[in-house]
Structure 1
Amino acid sequence: MPPEPVPDWQEQREAMAFGPACPQPESRSQSIYATELGAVSEDCLSLNVWAPEGVRDAPVFVWIHGGSLTTGAGSQPMYDGARLAREQGLVVVTLNYRLGVLGYLAHPGLSAESEQGISGNYGLMDQILALEWVERNIGAFGGNSENVTVAGESAGALSVVLLMTSPKARGLFDKAIAQSAYMVTMGALKDEANGLPSAESVGSDLAERMGVDDIDALRAMPADKLVRLSGKAGFFPFAVIDDVYLTDQMVATFDKGEQAPVPVLAGFNEGEIRSLRFLLPPIPKQDAYEMAIRNGYGELADTFLSLYPSDSLESSMLATTRDAMYGWTAERLAASQALQGFPSFFYLFDHGYPAADRAGLHAFHASEIPYVFGTASEAVAPWPEIPDTDEERDLSRAMMAYWASFARDGRPVAEGAAEWPSYGERATGMVFAERPQSWPMLARDRFALHEEVVCRRRGASDIPWNWNVGVLSPPLPPKDSKCQ
């Protein structure tokens, strides 16, 4: 069901403990992303606020956690907003939103209950309700409701993009930060589109595989059982084009200039896929690799092989998936907003440190988060230990300052660190390695290749994009004058 606001109250209310996390699968103990969540409940839409003492009209930084729309919580120690608030003068907000089958199931029975005839997108509805709460109430904590930045990483960054494209979220934020977002194909609620079945048919099929007939039977299941069975049945949560909360594919909304008119800061990590090996296809022999690329990419195969050569197969395949999902999305966001005349800033996080590099996880997915929040000491095993050195502290201070100044006035600035040029014709971005450094034409050749691939697939209208790349690519649709 859509979320409901908590009733108003007059008396003093105890609010010193985190609210419960939303129902989700248990963390795999060996995953570097494993975390202790504490209490779990279906009544989980809560917010956490950190504010400097006595502050007034401070910029507001609203963080949406990642976790593939399946796991995570705003209470995770790495997202602790105390240092950003104290040192950068921000009011920091984190939040929970419904996950998995409870957050993103579409089903004809659910649509029939809705006055608008829709279902799915419940997690997105939670995020919008949270932003509405911020708009009404953040002034009481010293925040400026007219200077709100919405930010997130991975599924949180995907959520930022969805909020940018949702007409229901218009006007609820003033800037956007997307760290490792992925602007992949969405299913439509009732119709097949872009090679995907309708979201309602996916929901009906899921219910059948779980051995239930209707929504009442699904609601009768305990939440933990519903989460467990839906995972075993292969349910993958994602947003839905329902013509109310989302009206078109994300990339199409940007092409039409109908996205939120806000400055954007977007980027990705060099080693995204090193910690996400499940996204990587089996590595073939060299000749099989080249044959698959030529079959899939046609006249673009030579360009592809020059960027992702067959003589370093694992590196090339890691880079292909990274660039098709995260790199292309980050630059697409920056380019789209720049085209509309809004300040846009692009980055690549390419920083490694001994424990991560020894584990083969240089600049892995989400590894920038402790530097943005200044929470390196909260990153406990199995997360690779971040050393307590001057170099690591300096990089974190710089990134905190860039992110906070962007939230403050739309321009990332860090005293004593390199100037961060805005994205433009030279496609300049910032690289965070040992220290921040600007880099003209950062990743431009790779972006151009994947932009043409996505454009052709969109034009064909029956092929998804982003997931099926490299050796998994189906034959590329013919040249299209719109894709030059």
Structure 2
Amino acid sequence: MRRRVLPSVFALALAALAGAPAVALADQPVVHAPVGAVRGVEAEGLRVFKGIPYAAAPMGALRWKPPARAPGWSGVRDAQDFGPACWQPKPRTGSIYASPLKAFSEDCLSLNIWTPATASKAPVLVWIHGGSLIGGSSSEGLYDGAALARQGIVVVSINYRLGVLGYLAHPKLSAESPDHVSGNYGLLDQVAALEWMRDNITAFGGDPANVTIAGESAGALSVMYLMASPRGRGLFSKAIAQSAYMISTPHLSEPRHGHPSAEAIGSATAAKLGAKTLADLRAMDAETITTSALMAGFQTFAAVDGKVLLKQLVDTFDAGEQARVPILAGFNSGEIRSLRILAPPPPADAATYEKEIRTRYGDLADDFLKLYPSDDLAESVLLAPRDALYGWTAERLVAKQTKLGAPGYLYYFDHSYPAADAAGLHGFHASELPYVFGTAKTTPPAWPKVPDTPVEAKLSAAMIGYWTGFARDGVPTAADAPAWTPYGTDRGYLAFAEDARPGTHLRPGMYELNEAVVCRRRAQGDTSWNWNVGVVSPPLPPGVPKCR
């Protein structure tokens, strides 16, 4: 008798030491999905399933292949712990974004599900984490889906391949591909996750016909890629893009817009790593190649390959060829305060600044200086790249969807609190995330601590309401908060400061200026429209090319 009792007592003691709830195995929820049965955890009206494989990441001799369909399994699979993060370089010491991650693997294509215990055909929100396509994980505490799921939706977060393992293009990789393309493996992982949900999410109480894709920063860039890619068609019905950036991106096999081809970038990276063949690259262990490629200057981009991505994002959205879905998009007031590497160096004085701007912007210089004047250089060098990357993209997204006949909802996050202000980080990049997820207590270690006050709680409740309302039926609504009108003809938006405040015509002239700048660079053909803003902008060609 003693032999039967002791293991149970020992297991309960271990659970107590680990701070885990001592729940009998029979009381833990089991879902029988088409892919197989999984056992999660149930608490406070939610069922949570973690680390479910949605696809197989090719490794070793098969590295740099599209994801393989996840094999099913027999028996009941444990789904109570997050899967390992995809390989990535170690984060910069002291970064406010660095989260402690426990394990890494190439076999990292897993997802996590938070679902109401009684959910049936509930709306589904799929979260794509940020991190410049080189870092991050769905296991970060910032992305815990519980608060959103308590509003009656199913929340799913996913891992996807990153950096050189997720986005390397190379002529020899293209040659061995049936489609004669390479790169975009991380993006194909995201597609595979959406396909898995189409086939399995009903078993977890979700509605595969009501899926919203959402992401911040590189996750929002991924949202735009999915909207543009034919591979994403029919897999989602709404989109949320937080701090997206509609940058130019390399073409697969030819240089364009100031970028070498993606294959040329891959070949140069392989040479710097001393790899003469694909076998050499595939023989390198994942940690070494991830770090070495970054040190060798590999920049992670998706590639315009004619298969996964047909055109530059700007061209796809101009042609109205993106997914015709409602969108919620916006940006933060202090985006560049925590990303100062994106800011141009401040000029010596106001006269130098004005001279440089007039030299570089020509007939658009007056418009530029009106928005970013010389009498506050410190602020102007932060606002110009913020608007060129994030502000212009957010307004462009809602404007283009509006033109398609799909509702667009624009926001501007200008909220801060004492710890952020003390660090000079008012409205910093990603600072809206604890409010959207209700995760102020689980931010990364160096994140400015969000205070526990009624103001913060009320703002978070409003944002959770708006986001889940949008996921539910495409209309962001929140209790005890103002109505959020679509962008429409009045160019409406909602500002989040101390509370939610509606307005129209956010930053007049900002969208038009940046639209004109990008239009000219596109026509020029040999210049990107990424981070070359203000005093580091290449001189714009004169004249006004006709743009759609």
Bucket of the pairwise TM-score, normalised by the shorter protein = over 0.9
| 2:511 equivalent in structure 1 | 447
Indicate yes or no: 2:367 matched with 1:303: yes
> Which residues of 2 match residues 204-215 of structure 1 at below 5 A?
204-215=267-278
Q: How far 1:171 moved relative to its partner?
A: 0.6
Q: How far 1:192 moved relative to its partner?
A: 1.1
Q: What is the one-letter code of the residue matched to 1:40?
A: F
Which of 1 and 2 has greater Rg? 2
Indicate yes or no: 2:308 matched with 1:245: yes
Q: What is the one-letter code of the residue matched to 1:349?
A: F
Q: What is the one-letter code of the residue matched to 2:324?
A: P
CA distance in 2: counterparts of 1:314 and 1:56, whole angstroms: 52
Q: Is the 8 A contact 2:520 2:545 kept in 1?
A: no
Q: 1:114 to 1:260 in 2, by over 3 A?
A: same
1:129 corresponds, among 184, 192, 195, to 192
TM-score of the pair, normalised by structure 1: 0.99
Higher relative contact order (CA 8 A, sep 6+): 1
Q: Compute the RMSD of aligned alpha carbons.
A: 1.0
Indicate yes or no: 2:147 matched with 1:83: yes
CA distance in 2: counterparts of 1:68 and 1:287, whole angstroms: 35
What do residues 359-397 of structure 1 show as CA deviations (whole Å, max 9, x unaligned)?
000010000001001111112431000000000000000
1:34 corresponds, among 67, 73, 98, to 98
What do residues 288-317 of structure 1 show as CA deviations (whole Å, max 9, x unaligned)?
211111111001101111110111111001
Indicate yes or no: 2:77 matched with 1:10: no
Q: Is the 8 A contact 2:521 2:540 kept in 1?
A: yes
Q: Is the 8 A contact 1:193 1:461 kept in 2?
A: yes
Q: How far 1:444 moved relative to its partner?
A: 3.2
Q: What is the one-letter code of the residue matched to 2:257?
A: N
> Which residues of 2 match residues 260-299 of structure 1 at below 5 A?
260-285=323-348, 286-299=350-363
Q: Is the 8 A contact 1:427 1:444 kept in 2?
A: no
CA distance in 2: counterparts of 1:463 and 1:425, whole angstroms: 32
Indicate yes or no: 2:385 matched with 1:321: yes
Q: Is the 8 A contact 1:454 1:466 kept in 2?
A: no
Q: How far 1:449 moved relative to its partner?
A: 0.4
Q: How far 1:37 moved relative to its partner?
A: 1.0
Q: Secondary structure of 1:241's match? A: coil
| 2:116 equivalent in structure 1 | 52
Indicate yes or no: 2:473 matched with 1:409: yes
CA distance in 2: counterparts of 1:305 and 1:475, whole angstroms: 15
| 2:290 equivalent in structure 1 | 227
CA distance in 1: counterparts of 2:331 and 2:243, whole angstroms: 5
1:377 corresponds, among 415, 436, 441, to 441
CA distance in 1: counterparts of 2:118 and 2:382, whole angstroms: 48
CA distance in 1: counterparts of 2:449 and 2:528, whole angstroms: 38
CA distance in 1: counterparts of 2:324 and 2:90, whole angstroms: 38
| 2:53 equivalent in structure 1 | none
CA distance in 1: counterparts of 2:542 and 2:77, whole angstroms: 62
CA distance in 2: counterparts of 1:264 and 1:139, whole angstroms: 24
| 1:146 equivalent in structure 2 | 209
Q: How far 1:443 moved relative to its partner?
A: 2.1
Q: Is the 8 A contact 2:211 2:471 kept in 1?
A: yes
CA distance in 2: counterparts of 1:297 and 1:363, whole angstroms: 28
Indicate yes or no: 2:322 matched with 1:259: yes
Q: Secondary structure of 1:444's match? A: coil
CA distance in 1: counterparts of 2:68 and 2:444, whole angstroms: 36
Q: Could you tell me the percent identity over the aligned residues? A: 58
CA distance in 2: counterparts of 1:349 and 1:265, whole angstroms: 13
Q: 1:481 to 1:460 in 2, by over 3 A?
A: closer
Q: Secondary structure of 1:278's match? A: helix
What do residues 170-194 of structure 1 show as CA deviations (whole Å, max 9, x unaligned)?
1100000000000000110001111
| 2:126 equivalent in structure 1 | 62
| 2:60 equivalent in structure 1 | none
Unaligned runs of 5+ residues in structure 1 are: none
What do residues 218-250 of structure 1 show as CA deviations (whole Å, max 9, x unaligned)?
111111110111111111101100100000000
Indicate yes or no: 2:299 matched with 1:236: yes
CA distance in 2: counterparts of 1:134 and 1:333, whole angstroms: 25
Q: What is the one-letter code of the residue matched to 2:477?
A: V
Q: Secondary structure of 1:149's match? A: strand
Q: Secondary structure of 1:408's match? A: helix
| 1:191 equivalent in structure 2 | 254
Which runs of at least 4 in structure 1 moved beyond 4 Å after TM superposition?
none
Q: What is the one-letter code of the residue matched to 2:222?
A: S
CA distance in 1: counterparts of 2:344 and 2:489, whole angstroms: 35
Q: How far 1:54 moved relative to its partner?
A: 1.4
Unaligned runs of 5+ residues in structure 2 are: 1-64
